[in-house]
Structures are given as structure tokens and as C-alpha cells.
Amino acid sequence: MQDKIDHLRTLPIPAQSLFIGGAWQASRNGATMEVISPIDGTVLTTIADAGADDVDLAVAAARAAFEKGAWSKAAPAERKKILLRIADLIDKHALELAVLGVRDNGTEISMALKAEPGSAAGTFRYYAEAIDKVYGEIAPTAENVLGLIHRAPIGVVAAIVPWNFPMMIGAWKVAPALAAGNSVVLKPAEGASLTLLRLAELCAEAGLPEGVFNVVTGRGAVSGEALGLHMDIDVLAFTGSGPVGRRLLEYSARSNLKRVYLELGGKSPNVVFADAPSIDQAAKVSAYGIFRNSGQVCIAGSRLLVERSIHEEFSEKVAKIAAGMKLGDPLQLTTEAGAISSEIQLKKDLGFAEQALAEGATLRTGGERILQETGGFYMQPTVFDVTPDMTLAKEEAFGPILSVIPFNTEDDALRIANATEYGLASAVWTANLSRAHRMVRDIKAGVVHVNTYGGADNTVPLGGVKQSGNGHDKSLHALDKYVDLKTAWIQL
Ligand code: NAD
């Protein structure tokens, strides 16, 4: 497979356009943006920098397709066929898609293969298979009336997604929205548009009618804002940072009160008790739970809370694993952590490390930019001992930086774990079943892993509490975001 990857990475990538109404179109204003590869800092290609009028056009195409009904009114079994074809096409082009995505955002290829095309194909298949098994309801009314509850597609869904795992996260929104019969306008992040543009092509090849799926690329502050403020978008599904999530709520309030679903950041606690079933396994999984994709994972276990009796031994084990990880060229199958997605993000990550030192944190390993000679953006996996009041214990770095905090008792662990404005993910390592269940009950987070970290699938929801968001991707529950409940009240 390495041979094929080595070939695919050399292929030139043509300048990219917008995908609107089933056709490739340049931006009305002719503006473009360079795509810089984080692998070596070279310019890969350009994408269109859409303006508000491009967004208008995409929304109009989506609305027209919705009203026409070729998709929105198609029998669920018909929609299922096309969604399954999309999944098959993603599988067929999996390696090409994975390499394209890695050239764009720097995720290590071994992970990208599973988490990007692999996961996206599975998500399209999951919602394809689900959609002809979702029934309406008959309300338990009095005998002389019939109350029917229909699940109707809503209309035009905008999806705005981040640069980490664009295909996986894109599919989490696009697949259920399409399955439910909606039209979609997708805006990828500036630094990870290429695979989602290719997805648009595959959707067309699979037979998705024109205008049902549109992709507008460009700057968040321009095309993203235009989507947020648009009067003809019914639902906005977002994954990204808290500050942008806040803006989207404001845009909704200032425009048409579109529903806004937010999947935001995290500062997830990974709590290790001295009675963890295997300390070695816990250390290994904890290290990979933060450092895979160089920490650019929303659910990354970025706060490691360790029971004081094993704090030193455990932290050293994690630091040793971190220091021994194979870093570098993300297109090598053996690489364990690839590039930081952009120079801006790398500077942010290094800034967090500098600030931690300035605040008195103790560096166990890492902290430095590496492989600068490649022209790419790489940082060592970094482990700091911190106190709960330090910036690194509170703010999401979204990079390869782990903060370690000791605790004394279960109550102490819970207090520190919940002392955050976020509530996305968490983990607890213990052999004590009752304690595991107490922690599952009491940690305020959308997911609590027990004796593992990460690794869920489409069958379970992913969503945050507190300032980590208000919606859930994945599982049958995600379909609820993309349907209206409509009542028919019939006098008999
Ligand atoms: P970001 O918020 O900067 O950007 C996300 C998207 O919003 C991009 O497409 C961007 O172009 C767009 N955007 C930016 N400004 C906008 C504006 N004013 N109006 C409309 N759209 C705008 O986030 P990012 O840096 O791309 O991604 C990292 C963040 O995403 C982290 O906080 C991470 O935790 C979070 N994330 C969360 C999940 C989850 O499932 N909860 C998953 C992955 C990433």
C-alpha cells in the first residue's frame, strides 16, 4: 500500500471550484485561496473563496431542489439506494481520498484511512439503512379523532465543519440530513476542503439529484457568516470552536431563527485510579488518546488526572510513550502522529507550551517544534505537570499537549474533572465496578469511557454538554435534528 500512497502524493491537484446546483462554478468574485500542505509547507492548489452571492446561489439551488421534490419526496427506499451508492464510491476511492485529505490537513495516514473515508462510508451506509425503518406515530387520542405525527424533511440544511476529520464529521451531518430528505449546503474549513469537494463529485456520480448537495469553500468570516445570516436556511449544523459557535447563535437570532446545532470543543478529563485493571495499558491508551492526530481531536483526553499514589510512575510511563512516538511524514504508514494542520495552529500550540512554562508548569517531555527543515508543521508530543488553576488545565489547546494533575480521592477526582466549562468526553480507569458507574453518572460530559479511550461507532451519539455544544451527531438520534414533527389532527 505504501507504493500506492507514494504515487498518489505526487499527483497534481487542479484548482478547485464551488459545487453548486450539480455543476462546478468559479466564485462570482473570482477570488481564490491557496491550499498549503502542512506536510512541507508547499502550495498544493487553490480553492474558491466564496462570497455572499455564491452562498445565495448555493442556497437557491438547494431550495429549488427541495421544492422540486426529486429527493425530498422520493420514497425512503429510493434515497437509501443512492446513499448506499455514495458509500460504495467512497470505499472504492478510499485510498485516494485518504491521501488527498492528508496532503490537505496532515493527519497520519494510518488513522486517516480509518477515520476519514472508512468512517464516512460507514456513516452513509448507517443512515441509508436506517431511513426506511423510521416510522411516523399515531397519537393516543380520544376515539373520535386521529392524531398522526409525521416526520417531514425540513428544507435546506447548512453544515459548517472544521479542518480535523472533515470527511468523518462532514458525513455525520450530511448523511442524516440527506437521508431525511433535505438539501444541504456544506462549508468545509479553509484548511480541509479537498476531500469534501471530491465527495460532492462522488454524490453526483451516485445519482444524487442536482442541487441536493452543494459545497461552498472559503473563509468562515465571509461564506460561513453568509450561511449563518441567510434567511432561507432552516437548520445550521456546526462543528468547530466555541467562539464561532457563539457567533452562529447570534446570526440565527439576527436572521430567521434557523435551528443551530453546535458541536464544540473540549478539555476532556481522563481519570486514572490506582486500581486500573492494567497500568501499562492505561498509560498506552491515554498517550494515544491525546497524541493521535497530534492532539487535533475534539474528544482528546487532554487533562490526565492521576491518583496520587501512582502519579509519578504513571506520568513517567505516559511521557516515555509520548517521547517514543514515531512522528513526521503523515503519508508513511508507520507514522504515529503527523503534522499540525497549519502554521497558525502550530504557533498557537507552541504559545500554549510557552505560557505553561511561564505559569510554572513542569515540562516532562516535548514542547518544541521539530522537523522544521521539511518546511512542514510538526510539534513534539508534550507532557506538562500543571495545577488546576493554570491556563493549560482550563483552555483547549487542540494540539499535542497533555496536562497532568494528581488527585487524592474519588471526590477530589470528580471535582477536578468537572471544573471546566466544557463537557464533551472523559474517561475513567478502574477495576471497581461501582466506582466506574458512579463516575459515569457524575462526570458531566457527553461520553464517559471506562477502561478505554475513544473508539465509538455510528450506533452511539456524540455530543457535548455545558459549553461543548447542544446537538448530537451519530446514531438514530441525529436524525431528529433534520426532521420537522408535523401533526395531522383528523376528526373522524
Ligand atoms: P473554527 O470554529 O475556527 O472553524 C470551524 C468552521 O467554522 C470552519 O469551516 C470555519 O471556516 C467556520 N467559521 C469560522 N468563522 C466563522 C464565522 N464567523 N461564521 C461562520 N463560520 C465560520 O474551528 P476549527 O479550528 O476549524 O476546528 C477546531 C475546533 O473544532 C476545536 O475547538 C475542536 O474541539 C472543535 N471540534 C469539535 C468536534 C465535536 O464533535 N464536538 C469535532 C471536531 C472539532
DSSP string, 420-478: SS--SEEEEE-S-HHHHHHHHHHS-SSEEEESS-S---TTS-B--SGGGBS--BSTGGG
pLDDT at 355: 97
Percent of the chain, pLDDT > 70?
Answer: 100
Q: Is 265 in the pocket of ligand 1 (CB under 6 A)?
A: yes
Q: Is 96 in the pocket of ligand 1 (CB under 6 A)?
A: no
Q: Is 104 in the pocket of ligand 1 (CB under 6 A)?
A: no
Q: Which residues contact 387 (CB under 8 A, 6 or more apart)?
A: 360, 361, 393, 405
Give the number of the atom of ligand 1 that is nearest the alpha carbon of residue 227: 20
Q: Is 261 in the pocket of ligand 1 (CB under 6 A)?
A: no
pLDDT at 5: 98
Answer positive or negative: Cα dihedral of 112, 117, 122, 124: positive
The string of pLDDT tens digits covering residues 334-370 is 999 999 999 999 999 999 999 999 999 999 999 999 9
Domain boundaries, the chain: 2-264+469-491, 269-456
pTM over 0.95: yes
Ligand 1 mutation pick, 49, 241, 296, max ligand atoms within 8 A of CB? 241
Give the number of the atom of ligand 1 that is nearest the alpha carbon of residue 165: 43
Local mean pLDDT, 10-residue blocks, the chain (492 residues): 97 98 96 97 98 98 98 98 98 98 97 96 98 96 97 98 97 98 98 98 98 98 98 98 98 98 97 98 97 95 98 98 96 97 96 97 97 97 96 95 98 97 97 98 98 93 96 96 97 97
Q: Is 453 in the pocket of ligand 1 (CB under 6 A)?
A: no
The fold adopted by the segment(s) 269-456 is Aldehyde Dehydrogenase; Chain A, domain 2 (3.40.309)
Give the number of the atom of ligand 1 that is nearest the alpha carbon of residue 469: 41
Identify the H or E element spanning 253: helix 242-254
Q: Is 228 in the pocket of ligand 1 (CB under 6 A)?
A: yes
Cell of 170: 462532514
Q: Choose which CATH entry (3.40.50.11290, 3.30.70.600, 3.40.47.10, 3.40.605.10) describes domain 2-264+469-491.
A: 3.40.605.10
pLDDT at 204: 98
Q: Is 191 in the pocket of ligand 1 (CB under 6 A)?
A: no
pLDDT at 39: 98
Compute the distance from residue 382 Cα to the ligand 1 centre, in Å. Answer: 23
pLDDT at 59: 98
pLDDT at 167: 98
Ligand 1 mutation pick, 239, 263, 296, max ligand atoms within 8 A of CB? 239
Residues 204 and 125: beta-carbon distance below 8 Å: no
Give the number of the atom of ligand 1 that is nearest the alpha carbon of residue 464: 41
Identify the H or E element spanning 237: strand 235-239
How far lies 424's CA from each of 227, 262, 298, 315, 418, in Å? 26, 12, 8, 23, 11
Residue holding cell 512554562? 357
Dihedral, 176, 177, 178, 183 alpha carbons, nearest 10: -170
Ligand 1 mutation pick, 35, 107, 164, max ligand atoms within 8 A of CB? 164
pLDDT at 196: 98
Residue holding cell 441536493? 212
Task: Write out the catalytic residue numbers.
Answer: 263, 298
Cell of 191: 484548511
Compute the distance from residue 240 Cα to the ligand 1 centre, in Å. Answer: 2
Q: Is 160 in the pocket of ligand 1 (CB under 6 A)?
A: yes
pLDDT at 336: 95
pLDDT at 322: 97
Cell of 427: 474517561
pLDDT at 488: 98
Compute the distance from residue 34 Cα to the ligand 1 centre, in Å. Answer: 19
| Closest Cα to atom 13 of ligand 1 | 220
Give the number of the atom of ligand 1 that is nearest the alpha carbon of residue 188: 9
pLDDT at 273: 98
Q: Is 464 in the pocket of ligand 1 (CB under 6 A)?
A: yes
pLDDT at 456: 82
pLDDT at 349: 97
Evaluate whether 2-264+469-491 and 269-456 have a shared fold. Answer: no
